[in-house]
Amino acid sequence: MAAASAGALFVTGGVVVITAGAAGLHLGSTQASAAQPTTAIASPAPAPPAATAQAGQKAARQALMNAEAQVLGLKPAQLALALRQGMTLHQLADQKSLSETQFASALTGQLKPLLDQAVTSQQVTSGQEQKLLKQLAKGVPNWDHAAKPKAGQPVPTPSPAAGATQ
């Protein structure tokens, strides 16, 4: 019974199972020492893929917002406020005399290190990073998109100086 005494270790559904042979119990031998029970050790269940993907997308969006703010010379909170007030990235870039091509180039330069750091810290997958960079190569996301006000809120009138630094 050489196969039975070899033992094995299995991982099934997040549970580690050690067979009798791996635990030192030789079933084919009449000289087996005291029976040792098979041990099952539970490992923590991984996060559901959908939750992990959502967290990664959120982290990637945050990196994008931070990079956009850096290119525009704003703090992320200032950029978020300007966008909520109805300004577009296009309008904000125009205030800095940046074309879409110039903005996209500067944005890629600011975004790549932020995404690399997020991948290293496992907040974003390399696939999510590549997807965002590929999308950026096609054009700036939401370049002419103004945020829609939430239901029941008045529509703000954007001012040309919204979010401008002094």
The predicted structure's pLDDT at residue 37:
55
- Structural element, H or E, at residue 59: helix 49-72
The predicted structure's pLDDT at residue 145:
80
Q: Which distant-in-sequence residues (6+ apart) come within 8 Å of 165 by Cβ?
A: 73, 74, 78
Work out the average pLDDT over 14-42: 50
Q: Is the pLDDT of residue 9 over 50?
A: no
The predicted structure's pLDDT at residue 36:
55
Enter the tokens of residue 79: 């950029």
118: number of Cβ within 10 Å: 19
- Highest average pLDDT, of 2-6, 144-148, 149-153, 162-166, comes from 144-148
With a pLDDT cut of 90, the percent of the chain lying above it is 40
Give the model confidence (pLDDT) of 93-147 as tens digits.
Answer: 999 999 999 999 999 999 999 999 999 999 989 999 999 999 988 988 889 887 7
- Return the amino acid letter for 63: A
pTM: 0.59
The predicted structure's pLDDT at residue 53:
73
What confidence category does residue 49 fall into, taking pLDDT thresholds of 50, 70 and 90?
A: low
The predicted structure's pLDDT at residue 57:
84
